């Protein structure tokens, strides 16, 4: 095993699950490992405590005649559940079929460590970097980065930079350089529907009182029209239309046809808002999704009850120029309007993040494309990402800086699912990409 892979295996062995309090010590230990690794490269490294998990900052010696590049990543990971579906233990990395299999392999430890190792190799080979570098690695991205924006505000001057680079997104196909120039935003909410004071016998009380589980199903059904269009009033009012060049370019992208989506997802057919391709719907159209629904008896066999309560979890993906708070207010109004009689509705607003869009044809965007061409064959692909990294818009709002999204993840990486994986080839390409990127950004 190469030293680079050995480093990645050590990094992946930490169960740095930010959402689970019993892993707080593991998250802290992971931050400590990261500090030691960056120190060993000759960078000046600091660990900043927050009300949650630490933020790790590393810098080289800055010179006023050089551009300053900030590279962001996160060392926290999603929970590994359900453990029974993993082929190998999630925090015992293994190589199979040219891939590294472990929780965090792609999201985001493999991608962020590739940048770090690229920096280390450049320093070892040339004694310095062509730019001033700031590495900012947090441990709370998977829980919405609650402490990062306040940290940016408090350290605005020390974190001033010309451009930001992030590899926490995807590439459209294997060995295809991909520059992301947009991200969907997100807005989350949970609804609790309550009826009787306790579960009731469905024979003695069915027909006399409303059933919260039935009410939950009716609320969910009200969210969309039969063709997949979101039925929330005003939902599409502020959506920025697709540019003609975007539709033309995306129609030619490899790896994102309807057949590709079906192959990756295992679904029997594609489905969504009419008038748009699957790629357009995922990249540049807003959606409303049900992430979880439950209530009543969940065990084996029958238990004839009217449940006392039910719940639904929602996430809405947003595009420029939608505002999360506006959309959440529209969702709340929709749910209240469509709440069936005989039950009570409690709406709990969750985390949110603004959508992001930048100009891929800017000077920095062109530099990133040159770097991608040095590492991957062919012309780089330009995309807007369907996922959300809420802190990207916060970087713009607080630091006034745009972000280059240089994805190394593949569609079958199984991020957030059992058997997450990252190709060794992508990890090694990420190291080379960092070296090429810093050189191109310095020009």
Catalytic site positions: 76, 141
Phi, psi angle pair for 53, to nearest 5°: -105, 155
Choose among 77, 146, 83: nearest CA to 109. Answer: 77
H helices of 81-168, in order, are 111-126, 148-154
Pair 190, 348: CB distance under 8 Å: yes
CB-based contact 34:137 (threshold 8 Å): yes
Alpha-carbon distance 229 to 222, whole Å? Answer: 11
DSSP category for residue 429 = H
Name the 3-class secondary structure at 415: coil
> Are the C-beta atoms of 286 and 185 separated by less than 8 Å?
no
State the Cα–Cα distance between residues 263 and 399, nearest whole angstrom: 40
CA distance 169 to 384: 10
Please give the structure tokens belonging to residue 371. 């770097």
Q: How far apart are CA 422 and CA 442, in angstroms?
A: 29
3-state secondary structure of 220: helix
């Amino acid at each position: 095993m190469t030293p680079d892979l050995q480093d990645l295996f050590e990094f992946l062995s930490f169960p740095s699950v930010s959402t689970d309090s019993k892993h707080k010590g593991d998250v802290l230990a992971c931050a400590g490992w990261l500090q030691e690794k960056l120190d060993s490269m000759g960078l000046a490294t600091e660990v900043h405590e927050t009300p949650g998990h630490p933020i790790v900052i590393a810098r080289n010696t800055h010179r006023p005649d050089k551009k300053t590049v900030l590279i962001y990543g996160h060392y926290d990971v999603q929970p590994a559940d359900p453990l029974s579906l993993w082929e190998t233990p999630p925090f015992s990395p293994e190589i199979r079929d040219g891939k590294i299999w472990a929780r965090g392999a792609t999201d985001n430890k493999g991608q962020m460590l590739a940048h770090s190792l690229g920096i280390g190799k450049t320093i070892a080979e040339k004694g310095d970097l062509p730019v001033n570098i700031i590495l900012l690695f947090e441990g709370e991205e998977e829980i919405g980065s609650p402490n990062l924006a306040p940290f940016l505000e408090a350290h605005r001057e020390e974190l001033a930079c010309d451009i930001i680079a992030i590899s926490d997104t995807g590439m459209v196909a294997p060995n295809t350089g991909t520059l992301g120039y947009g991200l969907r935003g997100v807005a989350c909410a949970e609804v609790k529907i309550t009826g009787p004071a306790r579960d009731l016998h469905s024979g003695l009380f069915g027909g006399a009182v409303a059933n919260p589980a039935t009410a939950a199903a009716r609320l969910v059904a009200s969210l969309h029209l039969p063709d997949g269009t979101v039925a929330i009033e005003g939902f599409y009012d502020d959506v920025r239309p697709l540019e003609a060049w975007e539709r033309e370019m995306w129609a030619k992208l490899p790896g994102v046809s309807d057949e590709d989506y079906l192959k990756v997802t295992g679904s029997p057919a594609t489905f969504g808002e009419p008038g748009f391709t699957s790629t357009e719907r995922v990249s540049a159209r807003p959606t409303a999704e049900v992430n979880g629904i439950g209530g009543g008896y969940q065990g084996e066999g029958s238990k004839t009850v009217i449940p006392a309560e039910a719940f639904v979890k929602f996430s809405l993906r947003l595009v420029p120029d939608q505002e999360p708070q506006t959309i959440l207010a529209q969702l709340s109004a929709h749910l209240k309007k469509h709440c069936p009689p005989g039950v009570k509705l409690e709406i709990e607003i969750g985390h949110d993040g603004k959508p992001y869009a930048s100009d891929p044809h800017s000077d920095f965007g062109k530099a990133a494309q040159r770097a991608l061409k040095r590492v991957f064959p062919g012309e780089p692909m330009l995309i807007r990402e369907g996922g959300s990294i809420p802190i990207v818009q916060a970087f713009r709002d607080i630091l006034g800086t745009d972000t280059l999204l240089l994805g190394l993840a593949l569609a079958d990486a199984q991020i957030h699912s059992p058997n997450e994986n990252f190709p060794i080839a992508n990890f090694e390409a990420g190291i080379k990409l960092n070296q090429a990127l810093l050189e191109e950004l310095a020009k």
